[in-house]
Copies of this chain bind each other. A is one copy, B any other.
Amino acid sequence: MTPAFSIGLDLGGTNARAAAVDGLGRIVAVSKHKLADRSPDACAAALEACARDVVASLGRTLEDAEGIGLALAGQLDSLTGRVIVAPNLGWRDLDFGALLEARLGRKVAIGNDLAVAALGEARAGAARGMDDAILVFVGSGVGSGLILGGRIHHGFRGVSGEFGHVKVHPGGRPCGCGERGCLEAYAGGVNLGARAAELVRGGRASSLTFPEGLHPTMAMIERAAEEGDALCVELREEAAVLVGVATANLVTVLNPQVLVLGGGVLAGSPYARWRVEEVVRAHASRASLHGLLVVNPALGDDAGVIGGAFLARG
């Protein structure tokens, strides 16, 4: 007999995933479907297929799940439950929850992907058992998930945690969000690639080579930095310091017990990962550093589905 389980769902830009997760956060069954297209209907269908796979593999039904929770890469309005904007999916102002609930015949708790991942890490991962946990994520974009008092801090409208859009150079580089000077415009992987391309095309010496119309990837920038390319060393250093100081300020104000440093840029660059932590320890208030743990995520790609299962449990 399968133990009690909840279902965690995760919708990224490429895949839909589902897992049945027990009360301790252990995955008992899992399923992944590549998205055929990113229309809301196709995405809801993919999530439904994953969820039905998972329960079928356990010889159970959706009705047997204690709850269903979804991690979605986008801004959600917690008052209305609507998706405000989900750039990776190309959605804007959409009641995706209603669509999914109609298919599954069950209530679905929805949360922002990083907030849900932070919940997963706080309940069953690198921050297990810690009530005040901050996940800072540096990948193609920059974001955060805040677990305060043991629960996701959603904020008034559910758009808390937009750490990538704190202003580090007010009025500075334009950001994908339409504003200027955001942390993500300087430290997100996509923007770092774009800046490197701009600077090289503007005549700056660098070993980077990349085809016309494309940008170097973070992996290319990291490799060149490791080989001593001055431009890449400089960009990587600037990004790490900006992320570090902004994270230090978050630690000073929120006094978490644990800081989880995640995302592809930090996972792919031991230097950046080390430097961010060093800058946090240099610039957060002394009192807030007392006893602070700084850790890597432990759940990898499963953070969303595990967090989603905990979200469903409330």
- Taking Cβ atoms with an 8 Å cutoff, the residues of A that contact B are 75, 84, 130-132, 144, 146, 148-149, 151, 153-163, 165-167, 170, 177-179, 181, 241, 245-246, 248-250, 252-257, 282-283, 285-288, 290-292
Q: Is the CB of A287 within 8 A of B159?
A: yes
Chain B residues whose CB sits within 8 angstroms of the CB of A250 once the complex forms: 253
Q: Is the CB of A245 within 8 A of B167?
A: yes
With known contacts A253-B250, A254-B155, A256-B155, A75–B287 Cβ distance under 8 A: yes
Sample (20) of A-B pairs whose CB atoms are under 8 Å apart? A131-B156, A132-B155, A132-B156, A148-B148, A149-B151, A153-B254, A156-B257, A156-B291, A157-B290, A157-B291, A159-B285, A160-B254, A162-B253, A162-B255, A162-B287, A162-B288, A167-B249, A167-B252, A177-B285, A181-B283
Kindly report which residue of chain B lies nearest to residue A84, judged by CB atoms.
B287
Could you list 14 further interchain pairs (A-B, Cβ under 8 angstroms) beyond the known A156-B292, A162-B285, A167-B283?
Answer: A146-B254, A156-B255, A156-B256, A157-B288, A159-B285, A160-B253, A162-B252, A163-B252, A165-B285, A167-B245, A167-B248, A177-B285, A178-B286, A179-B285
Q: Is the CB of B285 within 8 A of A255?
A: no
Kindly report which residue of chain B lies nearest to residue A159, judged by CB atoms.
B287
* Whole-angstrom CA separation of A293 from B156 in the bound complex: 11
A288: which of B149, B155, B170 is its contact (CB, 8 Å)?
Answer: B155
* Whole-angstrom CA separation of A5 from B292 in the bound complex: 39
Closest 6 A/B residue pairs (Cβ): A155-B255, A156-B257, A160-B255, A166-B249, A159-B287, A165-B285
Chain B residues whose CB sits within 8 angstroms of the CB of A256 once the complex forms: 155-156
Q: Is the CB of B257 within 8 A of A287?
A: no
Q: How far is the CB of A183 from chain B (nearest CB, A)?
A: 9
Kindly report which residue of chain B lies nearest to residue A79, judged by CB atoms.
B291
Kindly report which residue of chain B lies nearest to residue A76, judged by CB atoms.
B287
Q: How far is the CB of A118 from chain B (nearest CB, A)?
A: 13
Kindly report which residue of chain B lies nearest to residue A175, judged by CB atoms.
B285
* Whole-angstrom CA separation of A258 from B284 in the bound complex: 26
Kindly report which residue of chain B lies nearest to residue A253, judged by CB atoms.
B163
Q: Is the CB of B288 within 8 A of A253?
A: no
A252: which of B154, B165, B252, B283 is its contact (CB, 8 Å)?
Answer: B165
Q: How far is the CB of A37 from chain B (nearest CB, A)?
A: 26
Chain B residues whose CB sits within 8 angstroms of the CB of A153 once the complex forms: 148-149, 254
Q: How far is the CB of A77 from chain B (nearest CB, A)?
A: 8
Chain B residues whose CB sits within 8 angstroms of the CB of A84 once the complex forms: 287
Q: How far is the CB of A87 from chain B (nearest CB, A)?
A: 13
